[in-house]
Structure 1
Amino acid sequence: MSIKFSAIALGAMLALGTGAASAAAPADWSKVAAKKITVFYPGVSPIEWITKGSDHGGARLLKKGETCVGCHEEELADMGQKMASGSKIEPTPIAGKAAAIPVNVQAAHDGENLYLRFSWKEPKASGAAKMDADNQVKLAVMLEANKVERADQSGCWETCHGDARTMPGADDKKTKYVKGGDLASGKYYDLIQWRSGKGEAHDGYVADKRVMDGGKGLVSAEGKKDGDTWTVVFTRKLAGGGEGDIALATGKTYNFGFAVHDDHAKGRFHQVSMGYTLGIDAKADIVAAKQ
């Protein structure tokens, strides 16, 4: 059985005119290199915990310039299991919560648009109450242009703080944010998101707060479920052009991370990636080569 959901960012359509209709992802994704990235359940591990040596032994290596993925890539599933089970930094474990999900990530571009494709097998549902009844799955991607401190080491963790909503005892109205973040200085993350319920697409950013819309770079976000496999494809203008849109250039690399909200999850109860690099015709963890 195949279920398909799609969304077109209205602002992008207006900006592109007929160009939105002509954007086309690679006809044969099997010819595009894929990188398998494990997203894992992070428990209560805000950036304050990550950087505190008495809580996290890796804080010392982080100060020396080591990346989070450099230390932990081989143990992500095990880390997720410890936190999902409640044996480490998770005060309210969810029985049956998926500890980790392997995701195949592919990227390409055609000189005008960047195409990002994610595919993964759906884990067994936990059977817990639905936090987000409207959306079985959400997929969010963040890009950063090497201006946020430590973003090249910690990925999206620079937006994750202990005082943000769904963290224990936190203000339920406070969103993700970057310490000292603002659009004018370039200290922010570009954010795009797809939601399965109505096929919604969002194009925003995270600076001093998270803003879900206002960008003009996202042309479309399409997702479908074939059997037990989800596939989501984002089409995004390289040039961006809207509030919080990072202009992507060939020969450059950007910091990249993503999160899957599986099984009707919301807030911090997602599976997240470590920080990686995305290159536009440039050497990186994930390379978007011109097709």
Structure 2
Amino acid sequence: MKKTITAGLVGALLAGMTGAAMAAAPDWSKVPAKDITVFYPGVSPIEWITKGTDHGGARGMKKGETCADCHHSETTDMGKKMASGQKIEPTPIAGKAPAIPVKVQAARDADNLYVRFSWKQPPASGAAKMDAKNPVKVAFMLEAGGKVELADLGGCWSTCHVDSRTMPGAAETKLKYVKGGSLADGKFYDLYQWRSGEKKGFNGYVADKRVMEGGQALVSADGKLDGDTWTVVFARKLAGGEGDVALESGKTYNFGFAIHDDSAAGRFHHVSLGYKLGIDTSADITAAK
């Protein structure tokens, strides 16, 4: 009887804590949304992006223009060219969605940042499932101070290299990385991911290699499919530990995200261009109290 009472009390306490945590979440109906279309990128690593003979935008980047400056309104058309195999995709997947329109919201309280993604589920391609365990994965990355080369211009693209796994001819053991990446020097991306099948979140980083766990900032990551609409919400502490970008009021951070739809894996995802996340300050996406 004593054990039963104790278990009941603990259960009630945990339920109360969960309710309090949910009550502290933002009222998303009052948080502005940024419309960002993620697109299928094909084989477009950073080496391709910065090579002027392959990518005309390389000249603009040398002048300080961001990828979003040129392509924010063109992502759907870009995705169509690559998903169809018309451009930089040697192994197109029939029926692959070329792009996915996403609503992105962010808010914060005294301790946490909340980021919410919502989108309509595209039709399935019918292709073999690369990650049968997880029909959908959502990830976002943050970078502070522009210490990662080209992070200010291309968002997460500096983690995508021609020799990374699932690129044509690359070794499967070669993970995403940052050229000259170093946690000690602050040259890294802070990484968060939610997986639909495993129903859990991950908090890692990308420096000299990608590490999916070990971060200390993630509070929760939850997602659900309601009808044909996915909603995924991350909560992370404003402060963090090794591999976490510490967030401060009045500052902006490089921000990008990706959706692995249709049980995709590796580079066969949909990606955003690079944007800015502002904490209490104007940016592409602003997280305010």
How many equivalent residue pairs? 271
State the one-letter code of the partner of 1:227: G
- Where do 1:83-232 residues align within 5 Å? 83-146=82-145, 147-232=147-232
Q: Report Cα offsets for 1:164-189 as digits up to 9, x if no partner.
A: 00000001011100000110110000
Q: Please report how far the alpha carbon of residue 210 of structure 1 lies from its aligned counterpart in structure 2 after TM superposition.
A: 0.1
Instruction: Specify whether residues 79 and 285 from structure 1 end up closer, same or farther in structure 2 by C-alpha distance, changes over 3 A only.
Output: same
State the one-letter code of the partner of 1:145: A
Which residue number in structure 1 is paired with residue 284 of structure 2? Answer: 285
Q: Please report how far the alpha carbon of residue 19 of structure 1 lies from its aligned counterpart in structure 2 after TM superposition.
A: 10
Q: Please report how far the alpha carbon of residue 200 of structure 1 lies from its aligned counterpart in structure 2 after TM superposition.
A: 1.7
Q: Sequence identity of aligned pairs in percent? A: 75
State the one-letter code of the partner of 1:189: Y
Q: Please report how far the alpha carbon of residue 73 of structure 1 lies from its aligned counterpart in structure 2 after TM superposition.
A: 1.1
Q: SS of the residue aligned with 1:60?
A: helix
Instruction: Specify whether residues 21 and 164 from structure 1 end up closer, same or farther in structure 2 by C-alpha distance, changes over 3 A only.
Output: farther
Instruction: Specify whether residues 21 and 165 from structure 1 end up closer, same or farther in structure 2 by C-alpha distance, changes over 3 A only.
Output: farther
Cα distance in structure 2, aligned partners of 1:198 and 1:205: 20
Q: Please report how far the alpha carbon of residue 150 of structure 1 lies from its aligned counterpart in structure 2 after TM superposition.
A: 1.3
Instruction: Specify whether residues 100 and 225 from structure 1 end up closer, same or farther in structure 2 by C-alpha distance, changes over 3 A only.
Output: same
Cα distance in structure 2, aligned partners of 1:87 and 1:203: 36
Q: Please report how far the alpha carbon of residue 21 of structure 1 lies from its aligned counterpart in structure 2 after TM superposition.
A: 6.3
What is the aligned-residue RMSD (CA, Å)?
Answer: 1.3
Q: Is 1:44 aligned with 2:36?
A: no
TM-score after normalising by structure 1: 0.91
Which residue number in structure 1 is paired with residue 79 of structure 2? Answer: 80
State the one-letter code of the partner of 1:248: L
Q: Please report how far the alpha carbon of residue 243 of structure 1 lies from its aligned counterpart in structure 2 after TM superposition.
A: 2.4
Q: Please report how far the alpha carbon of residue 22 of structure 1 lies from its aligned counterpart in structure 2 after TM superposition.
A: 3.5
Which residue number in structure 1 is paired with residue 12 of structure 2? Answer: none
Q: SS of the residue aligned with 1:80?
A: helix
Cα distance in structure 2, aligned partners of 1:100 and 1:106: 19
Q: Is 1:267 aligned with 2:266?
A: yes
Partners of 1:20 and 1:219 within 8 A in 2: no
Cα distance in structure 2, aligned partners of 1:263 and 1:38: 17
Cα distance in structure 2, aligned partners of 1:69 and 1:251: 22
Where does structure 1 differ by over 2 angstroms across 4 or more consecutive aligned residues? 18-24
Q: SS of the residue aligned with 1:71?
A: helix
Instruction: Give 1 or 2 for the bigger CA radius of gyration.
Output: 2
Instruction: Specify whether residues 50 and 35 from structure 1 end up closer, same or farther in structure 2 by C-alpha distance, changes over 3 A only.
Output: same
Can you give the 5+ residue segments of structure 2 that lack an aligned partner in the other structure? 1-16
- Where do 1:240-279 residues align within 5 Å? 240=240, 242-279=241-278
TM-score after normalising by structure 2: 0.92
Can you give the 5+ residue segments of structure 1 that lack an aligned partner in the other structure? 1-17
State the one-letter code of the partner of 1:168: P
Q: SS of the residue aligned with 1:81?
A: helix
Q: SS of the residue aligned with 2:101?
A: strand
- Where do 1:60-75 residues align within 5 Å? 60-75=59-74
Q: Report Cα offsets for 1:62-99 as digits up to 9, x if no partner.
A: 11100001011111100000000000000000000000
Q: Report Cα offsets for 1:7-63 as digits up to 9, x if no partner.
A: xxxxxxxxxxx799647321x211100000000000000000000011111111111
State the one-letter code of the partner of 2:69: G
Cα distance in structure 1, aligned partners of 2:121 and 2:55: 31
Cα distance in structure 2, aligned partners of 1:216 and 1:172: 28
**Highest relative contact order (Cα 8 Å, sep 6+), 1 or 2?**
1
Q: SS of the residue aligned with 2:288?
A: strand
State the one-letter code of the partner of 1:192: Y
